[in-house]
Each structure stands twice: as C-alpha cells, then as structure tokens.
Amino acid sequence: MSNLTGTSFIDVNRTGVFDPGDLPIANAAVFTDLPPFDGIYQPDQGERSAITGQDGSFVITDLQTLGAGTPFQLQQIPPADGSVSSPGNNLPLPFTVPADPTQNIGPVAIANLPPDVPVPSVPPITSKGNIQGRTFVDNNVDGSGIPLFLDLDGNGAWTANEPITVSRPDGSYSFNNLTPGTYQLRPLLPGNDVPPGLGGVTSFADRLVATNDDPKLVNVSAGAVTFQDLGYVVPGSIYGFVVSDLNSNGVADPGEAGIPGITVSGGGRTAVTDANGFYILDVDARFPTFSDAELAQNPYLHYVLSNEPGLLTESFAVEVVNPPGNLVATGPDPDFDVALGRGGAAQKNFFFNVPPSLVGGPGVPDSITGFVFTDVNIDSAYQVGEPLLEGVTVYLDLNKDGQLNSGPLRDPVTGAVILDPNGNPFPAEPSTVTGPGGNFGFFNVSRWLPFIEPGDVEFQVRVEAPASLPFVTTPDVSIFGEGLGVLAEVGASGVAFGMSQFPV
C-alpha cells in the first residue's frame, strides 16, 4: 500500500530543509486532514496518523484506504511539552492519494520555527550558497564533535535563530542553502547553552583555541560552495607540521606536503604526525608559585600573574625523534626550544628533504647524506638501475673500532670510557636506517666533533651489512682534514655503500 514519509524538525537555519544543525521533533502527531480541511484529527472519518520518532521521522501507512485520487492536507499536532509553539510554519501541505497503490509520497519536510522567532523572507533555493569544510582538533584526537555556528548578529554567542551544527566523525561539516553574504563562522564558546538534541560534542570543546581567525569571515555566493577548513588546538599544547621541504629552503611553500608517521617529542610527551604531517603535544606547563610576601615585594610579578600570565613562559625542547634515514633537516635547528606561556599554545614546524641527487647532488649544511645499493656487478660503483636498499643501518664510527656501540663509548685500545667536554660518558654512536629510496642522512654533524679523537679530525661512516648481502663492495668512507670545514658549510653528499652476496 502507498505510504507517506517525512521528518518534523525545528528549522534552526530557516532553510525549509532538514540540514545538519536542525533539531528533530519527537512525539509530534501528524495526520491526513480530509475535506472540509478543518485541521482537526478525526479518525472516525478515516483520517490516518503517525507519531514522530526521536529522529523526527514518521510514516503514515495505507493511504489507499482514503481512496485513490482523494485530496488531503498533511497537518501536525505539536508535542505536549511546549518545545514547539506552532503546528509547522509550512503547513498544511496539500496532497492527493496516488492512483497507483505502490506509489509512495515523500520524504516530506515539516519545518517548525523555534519559539518566538519571526518568519523571515526566504529567497528561492536557486539563489542560495553553501559552506563546507573540515575541522581538526589536533590533540591526538580526530576532528569530530566540534560545535560550530554562524553568528548572524555578531555578538559571539549562539541564539536560537542562528544556524548551528556539529562536525561529523571525519571532521567534515556543512551549512547549506545560505543567503549570499558574509558570515561569521565560530565555534560554540564555553558557557553557551547547547541546543536540545545537539549531541556528539567532543570533550575538548570547552578548551579549544582557533589556529585561524576567530571568527572566520566566510563569503557565500549564490549557487556556489565555499570551502573553509578550521583548525583548533588545546591550550597548553605545542603543535606544528613536519614538512617535505622540496626546495630545501626551510620554509613551507605552496605545494609542499606534510610527512606522516614522524615521531615528535617534547615536555615528556610524544606524538606521531598524521596524514597531513601535523602533530600536537599536550604538554603540562608548570610554573613556579609565589608567596604573598614575594608578590608584595614584586608588584610587577603580581600584576603579570593577575592580568597577563601568558608573559610567564616555560621552555620545552621539542624535536623529531630518530627521523628516517632518507630525511635530512633543511630548516632551523631541530633542537630549538619552544617557549610556552601559561594557557597558551605554540607552533613549531620541522623541515626535511630527501637528498636531491643520489650522486653529486648539492649537500645540506652540516650533514652527511648518501645511499646504500645492491652492487649487482660488484664493480664497487653505483650503476643506474641497481636496486636501492631500505632498512640498512648506517652509523658514525666515532671511536673507530669497526662496530656500532650503544654506549658508553670506550677507547678501542685502552678500553677507557670516552668522556664528553663536561666529563660525562658519551652514551652512544649516532646511527640511522635507510629509507625507501635507500637514502640516509646525519644532520647537525658538528655536534659530534667533541667526541672524535683530538688531532684525528676524521669521521668514519660505516654500514652494518644485512645477512642477505654480507659484503660491502665500496671503500670505507672517511671525512677528514679540511673536509670538515667544507662539511660545516655545504655538507657531504653522495656517500655510497654497495652491498653484495660476494666479495670484491
């Protein structure tokens, strides 16, 4: 039999369509009002009805019992709790029972205005535009559950006539069928009343700080979709991107993507970059406390603590942890500390690049870069087409004993522990693992200079041969003498290790 389906809802954004952010109406009665259309439900005259569910949906079944071709009007009786003050601003809706008993009607939208909100003039649907985008709460959680609204009156608070929505599980959101113009797009601020039925709000919502302009001014044009992504962070966090710096200029240029899967640490926390190369560390910034006597003796400190606590900062060492061997730092010193104020958030980006050429390419200052390959013809030289090897360990043999030492380092002759300039045992020799392109890199190499033997002025670079290719076919690599000065200026590139099943 023929059915009529639809949804009853509070039309928050006044579009006449059940959009994200509109609120479903439960427990409302809808019915088929038959001639003479008195708006009164009279089941004894054959009028049929249904009750809306929690999602506002309803189904009126068996329309054929009214008679094919019979005109009727869809009407609604609001729920008894007073949440809706009118029977639906677009009612009654006229219909005719289909002649075909298998033909259904709907879905039908019953739009209800919030209480005491006047009916606005709505231009034709063809003159509307949309706002769509993605939100990201980058505190090791996804971008879902962020409440957003369009601040029509510009007062910073949500009111019942303003469109509101919550970002979906994938972080996406949308405001549809908007009158062309400029809109103030905001997150729902703490302390605002959340509309009934607006569920799925993230627990971080009351701590969010926008990384973009707040409010974000968005221009909507007729018949067009305006895309606007929104970024937020949690106060007390350090965040940023690990960038694939294609031109090695230490700047995030247009078209340079983030590098996923890179571990960043700082403040006792670690994070792994997401698909966009983004990371965030929710650090615990601890600041000293002061007695009343100390504050009385220091009025400026008292003022800062009372009015501008962000002026007090704590320094955090934030760094990339063991970057893959095919990445070489191209930006500022990766060990540069980040100053974080109480309740604030700070950004630190990292820039890496794969050496631009396997052999003879330009070097990166203060680095040693190269690659490992299968020496197919065992000629101790790389030939185009010979496979590049991933997952091979390369290390700097600082004490020149021919093996990778995990520390503390010892003199290979005397066995004495090697001490750093401060008299502390040196913990381990630097090592890395080749990446998918067979590339490896050591950056900020000058940091290791105090640990090579005085007067030797030499770095030895070695490789741990895998069991499948146990023989190194290329000569040992030593960087020494005046080469160290060049190393600090332009770096050493094209360092190659050939591997083979057979000795040379």
On whether both 132 and 183 belong to a single domain, the answer is yes
With 80 as the cut, is the pLDDT of residue 379 above it?
Answer: yes
| Complete DSSP assignment for 203-254 | TTGGG-EESS-SSEEEEE-TT-EEE--EEEE-TTEEEEEEEE-TT-SSS--T
Q: Is residue 117 part of a domain?
A: no
What pLDDT, on the 0 to 100 scale, is given for residue 357?
A: 44
* CB 330 within 8 Å of CB 364: yes
203-212, 222-231, 320-329 — which is least confidently predicted?
203-212
38-52, 163-177, 444-458 — which is least confidently predicted?
444-458
- Residue range 418-433: average pLDDT? 73
- Residue range 339-367: average pLDDT? 65
Which residues, other chains included, contact 6 with Cβ-Cβ below 8 Å and sequence gap of 6+? Answer: 30, 57, 58, 74, 106, 107, 108, 109, 110
Which residue segment(s) compose the domain that 329 sits in? 240-353
For residue 62, give the CATH number of its domain. 2.60.40
On whether both 372 and 491 belong to a single domain, the answer is yes
- Residue range 281-301: average pLDDT? 71
What pLDDT, on the 0 to 100 scale, is given for residue 222?
A: 82
On whether both 134 and 173 belong to a single domain, the answer is yes
- Residue range 33-45: average pLDDT? 82
On whether both 283 and 336 belong to a single domain, the answer is yes
C-alpha span between 94 and 467 (Å, rounded): 81
* CB 266 within 8 Å of CB 317: yes
What pLDDT, on the 0 to 100 scale, is given for residue 340?
A: 73
On whether both 103 and 130 belong to a single domain, the answer is no
Digit-coded pLDDT (tens) for 216-235: 888 888 878 888 888 777 77
What pLDDT, on the 0 to 100 scale, is given for residue 170?
A: 64
With 50 as the cut, is the pLDDT of residue 117 above it?
Answer: no
Q: Is residue 119 part of a domain?
A: no
With 80 as the cut, is the pLDDT of residue 97 above it?
Answer: yes
With 80 as the cut, is the pLDDT of residue 35 above it?
Answer: yes
Q: Give the range with max mean pLDDT: 344-358, 433-447, 489-503.
A: 489-503
On whether both 248 and 229 belong to a single domain, the answer is no
Q: How many domains does the chain have?
A: 4
Kindly indicate the confidence band of residue 358, based on its pLDDT and cuts at 50, 70 and 90. Answer: very low
On whether both 229 and 245 belong to a single domain, the answer is no
What pLDDT, on the 0 to 100 scale, is given for residue 471?
A: 92
What pLDDT, on the 0 to 100 scale, is given for residue 472?
A: 92
For residue 138, give the CATH number of its domain. 2.60.40.10
Q: Is residue 191 part of a domain?
A: yes
On whether both 184 and 285 belong to a single domain, the answer is no
Percent of the chain with pLDDT over 70: 69
H or E element that contains 396: strand 393-396
Tell which of 210, 233, 256 closes a domain.
233
Q: Is residue 488 part of a domain?
A: yes
Digit-coded pLDDT (tens) for 154-187: 888 888 788 888 887 667 788 888 888 889 888 8
H or E element that contains 460: strand 458-463
With 80 as the cut, is the pLDDT of residue 269 above it?
Answer: yes
With 80 as the cut, is the pLDDT of residue 435 above it?
Answer: no
Tell which of 82, 112, 142 closes a domain.
112
Collapsing DSSP states into helix, strand and coil, what is residue 64? helix
On whether both 409 and 309 belong to a single domain, the answer is no
What pLDDT, on the 0 to 100 scale, is given for residue 463?
A: 92
On whether both 229 and 257 belong to a single domain, the answer is no
Q: Residue 193 corresponds to which tokens in the numbers above?
A: 């009343």
With 60 as the cut, is the pLDDT of residue 287 above it?
Answer: no
C-alpha span between 280 and 136 (Å, rounded): 11
Cα angle 212, 216, 258 (rounded to 5 degrees) comes to 35
On whether both 281 and 314 belong to a single domain, the answer is yes
On whether both 24 and 92 belong to a single domain, the answer is yes
Q: Is residue 360 part of a domain?
A: no
